[in-house]
Structure 1
Amino acid sequence: MLPTRRQLLQATSCGFGYLALSALCQQSLQAEATNTLAQKVPPIRPRAKRVIFLCMSGGPAQLDMFDYKPQTGQKKHPGSVYPFRQRGESGLWISDLLPETSRHADNLCVINGMYADTGNHAQSFLQLHSGERLRSRPSLGAWINYGLGTENQNLPGFISLHTSKPSVYTSAFLPPVYAGTPIGVNGESMSTASINNIRGEHLTRDDKRRQLDFVQSLNRQHAQHSPDPSQLEGVIESMELAFRMQSTAPALLDTSTESEETLRRYRVGKSLSVGTCTPSDFGRQCLLARRFAEAGVRFIELNHGSWDQHTHHRRDLEANCEATDAPIAALLDDLEMRGLLDETLVVWGGEFGRPGLTPDDGKNETGHNFRGFTFWLAGGGVKGGYVHGKTDETGSRAVEGKVHFRDLHATILHALGLQHDQLTFHHEGRDHRLTGPEGGKVVSELFA
């Protein structure tokens, strides 16, 4: 759509000539950008349509939640210091710290053979999200957005909730339209978090549309003469998406329409009995994740931290479990009840795990363990009530069914109908992919 005569006349007051601008806008018709966020058909049969990633940053203590290492014999070795029980018909071992999540034992596919390349938080966190430890690369969500587009043209294909780390949502060398939309950054309370500049009352919707059409005509003219227009085209599409979001996103972010019972199940606003975490933040994240999944957002990342429990392992672990257990269970409940769990792959985990304590460890200190830790999946066609891989008797390293981050990435892409070795983007003279030059392996045993 071209700018109106009124807009062009107004522009002349800023030093532009009307005839020149008119010619510019006519030329811009030849440079219409295609909608790269349009929904795409995956090359292989997908098991899932979308991903909800529950990112537990800092290193969750898997031995006290999902990887049971009982303390036996006279010599107490490091292992699980909280009681476990077998849950559901599958008999999955889950800690008493997670009574609500335990109700979903028969939906959980637990990977106890995870391993990474480093025990440093920043590098391993970057590798978890982008496949590389040292350089900025597109995040998992951006790759999925690039490969599949969005189901809802009025919303982003990728949303990141409550994060202060751009590595979580960056598109890096992919066009910026594939980047995640952050909501609740830098520790902002989720009760007030929104999408920046999503509201604007200074113009009517029609006037906003005419204003944007004029700006876009200039952008497209500039893109015609750019040696690499892909970045500018991404900005053009991002601006179009932002305009469409103004009529859709505010209603999705408004949880006041939810019932009191729903808010209670998600623990929105509930105080904790231990620690200093804020459950209202994570409960609201889970509730928003359900709403965004229903609305067709392709990749939704939730962030909770910190699980970096060094000197107060028991206290902080109990606080983190209390803050996340019920909200995660409520999310799984709602996805299942609404028929969304089968087509939604839920992923839980952090950048690595933690070594075990002995029951009489007075120091109550733990470190980092990247050689053997736990992720779990649910929905999206995975086997429920299933454990893949194992660590040694003290949980110090994976010894069977080992799964690297590259393998996890390849498996998530496979669940969505994408081939990790074919999903590439040409940049700086070569093709890049999420799983890197080393590649990954789809863990087919995880699927039903």
Structure 2
Amino acid sequence: MISSRRNLLQSASCGFGYLALSALCQKSLLAESTDSLELKVPPVRPRAKRVIFLCMSGGPAQLDLFDYKPQTGQKKHPGSVYPFRQRGESGQWVSDLLPEISRHADKLCIVNGMHADTGNHAQSFLQLHTGERLRHRPSMGSWVNYGLGTENQNLPGFISLNTSKPSVYSSAFLPPVYEGTPIGTNGESMSKATINNIRGDHLSSAAKRHQLDFIQTLNRQHLQQNQDAEKLEGVIESMELAYRMQSVAPALLDISTESEETLQRYRVGKSLSVGTCKPSDFGRQCLLARRFAEAGVRFIEVNHGSWDQHKNHRRDLEANCEVTDAPIAALLGDLEMRGLLEDTLVVWGGEFGRPGLTPDNGKDESGHNYRGFTFWLAGGGVKAGYTHGKTDDTGSRAVEGQVHFHDLHATILQALGLRHDKLTFNHEGREHRLTGPEGGKVVHEIFS
């Protein structure tokens, strides 16, 4: 079966430039039948149409960014080591490390009561994306794609920028058409990142269409003769999407039409490599996220790694903030100016946070804190200029307004008009959902 699938894909690629999303095409053909990417009506009135997830992997130090804990002088608790100020009319506390994002404080809904189940990077990162810590499960973006379909039939419903972790965009047991399309890998220059095989000029559009029709006829005949290979339907639909993408995706990836002023605001090309902060041209990612959102992509993940600052905490934290601050601010400003923020839910956060710096011997070290950390959201019907939940006086534990990853997932789905307890998929004899068997609760308090 694997050999026949490989031959099928190779025969397609040698002709019309089969660019069917590489992630979609690497799935087994032995599972439930796929549904289509057609636009679906959500069961609940949606506040948002799409999500931009700004994933800061590694554990951002919330005590130095959004959760202000004044220095107490106590040896056991050094507090926030960077100055904070109350910003905007709302008076939200935001660190001086984020001067550009601070200008948008009145747009932010800061959630200071986040908590997770483990302080291990791999497991918590997996739970953030899939709801489970150990097993291979569909990612949040795939669940959203499955529940709502795509607004633009010429583009995938889920795109992941600058990632090398398949858990970020995997559809697992969901039909492969809901898998995310990865563009770029962690540390790769985003100026070179693209969707593989997106261009093919050796045949005319009409000739490509004829060739694809012939291949799809063979695919459907094969499907009729092999009812146990129903996953082939996903490949068939992926190839159709791939064909349609050829007329749209290249233009979206080409940012040369943007003004110089826009490129400057997003800091496109302004990569920084200091300590563990890898050059990634984060500004280009944020600009692409805006363009994909405008074009109707349902779920866009923007990834920035290297927030795992155990040693050289100050140096690496400053570097990460310098890389991400202005592009995120430009994204928020553009979404608002273009009338997109009201129905785009922007989510910022990582797999956990960090405690205060280790005070002993003046070491510049910080560890992991999964018991209390920060996310923020903007747009998509959430309360603007609002802080939800709090940690204790040392920032070590969420004590009010606690929000688990399951609750965050349930809330994001609710914003999109999806009920987390009803968005299910039958796999191996039982119903699965993003919020897992434990379930989650919608944080209604953060909605306006």
TM-score, normalised by the number of residues in structure 2: 0.90
Measure how far apart 1:49 and its partner are: 0.2
**Cα distance 1:180–1:84, how it changes in 2: closer, same or farther (>3 A)?**
same
User: What SS is found at the alignment partner of 2:112?
Assistant: strand
Task: Read off the aligned partner of 2:208 and give its amino acid letter.
Answer: K
Provide the C-alpha distance between the structure 1 equivalents of 2:53 and 2:225, rounded to a whole number of angstroms. Answer: 40
Q: List per-residue Cα deviations over 1:207-257 (Å, max 9, x = no partner).
A: 111111111111112222334454211111111000000010000000111
Structure 2 counterpart of 1:87:
87
Structure 2 counterpart of 1:245:
245
Measure how far apart 1:358 and its partner are: 6.1
Q: List per-residue Cα deviations over 1:265-301 (Å, max 9, x = no partner).
A: 0001225495564666100000000000000000000
Structure 1 counterpart of 2:55:
55
8 Å Cα contact 1:342/1:381 also seen in 2: yes
Q: What runs of 5+ residues in structure 1 fail to find an aligned partner?
A: 1-10, 12-32
Structure 2 counterpart of 1:381:
381
8 Å Cα contact 2:113/2:390 also seen in 1: yes
The answer to whether residue 410 in structure 2 is matched with residue 410 in structure 1 is yes
Provide the C-alpha distance between the structure 2 equivalents of 1:131 and 1:141, rounded to a whole number of angstroms. Answer: 12
Percent identity for Structure 1 against Structure 2 = 83
Provide the C-alpha distance between the structure 1 equivalents of 2:46 and 2:408, rounded to a whole number of angstroms. Answer: 16
Shifted more, 79-88 versus 201-210: the winner is 201-210
8 Å Cα contact 1:268/1:279 also seen in 2: no
User: What SS is found at the alignment partner of 1:100?
Assistant: helix
Provide the C-alpha distance between the structure 1 equivalents of 2:266 and 2:111, rounded to a whole number of angstroms. Answer: 26
Structure 2 counterpart of 1:222:
222
8 Å Cα contact 2:86/2:93 also seen in 1: yes
User: What SS is found at the alignment partner of 1:72?
Assistant: coil
Structure 2 counterpart of 1:5:
none
What pairs up with 1:188-337 in 2 under 5 angstroms? Answer: 188-270=188-270, 272=272, 275=275, 277=277, 281-337=281-337
User: What SS is found at the alignment partner of 2:281?
Assistant: helix
Structure 1 counterpart of 2:15:
none
**Cα distance 1:171–1:35, how it changes in 2: closer, same or farther (>3 A)?**
closer
Provide the C-alpha distance between the structure 2 equivalents of 1:359 and 1:172, rounded to a whole number of angstroms. Answer: 43
**Cα distance 1:442–1:361, how it changes in 2: closer, same or farther (>3 A)?**
farther
Measure how far apart 1:362 and its partner are: 1.9
Shifted more, 356-365 versus 86-95: the winner is 356-365
Structure 2 counterpart of 1:178:
178
Task: Read off the aligned partner of 1:108 and give its amino acid letter.
Answer: L
The answer to whether residue 77 in structure 2 is matched with residue 77 in structure 1 is yes
Provide the C-alpha distance between the structure 2 equivalents of 1:297 and 1:200, rounded to a whole number of angstroms. Answer: 23
8 Å Cα contact 1:279/1:324 also seen in 2: no
Q: What runs of 5+ residues in structure 2 fail to find an aligned partner?
A: 1-10, 12-32
Provide the C-alpha distance between the structure 2 equivalents of 1:422 and 1:57, rounded to a whole number of angstroms. Answer: 29
User: What SS is found at the alignment partner of 2:182?
Assistant: strand
Structure possessing the higher radius of gyration over alpha carbons:
1
Provide the C-alpha distance between the structure 2 equivalents of 1:127 and 1:413, rounded to a whole number of angstroms. Answer: 16
Shifted more, 227-236 versus 395-404: the winner is 227-236
Provide the C-alpha distance between the structure 1 equivalents of 2:83 and 2:153, rounded to a whole number of angstroms. Answer: 47
How many residues end up aligned between the 2 structures?
A: 417
Shifted more, 226-235 versus 385-394: the winner is 226-235
Provide the C-alpha distance between the structure 1 equivalents of 2:134 and 2:304, rounded to a whole number of angstroms. Answer: 23
Provide the C-alpha distance between the structure 2 equivalents of 1:374 and 1:148, rounded to a whole number of angstroms. Answer: 28
Provide the C-alpha distance between the structure 2 equivalents of 1:185 and 1:132, rounded to a whole number of angstroms. Answer: 23
* Displaced runs of 4 or more, over 3 A: 73-76, 225-230, 271-280, 358-361
Structure 2 counterpart of 1:444:
444
Shifted more, 275-284 versus 318-327: the winner is 275-284
Shifted more, 62-71 versus 358-367: the winner is 358-367
Measure how far apart 1:72 and its partner are: 2.5
Structure 2 counterpart of 1:141:
141
Structure 1 counterpart of 2:21:
none
RMSD across aligned C-alpha pairs, in angstroms?
Answer: 1.7
8 Å Cα contact 1:100/1:329 also seen in 2: yes
Measure how far apart 1:119 and its partner are: 0.5
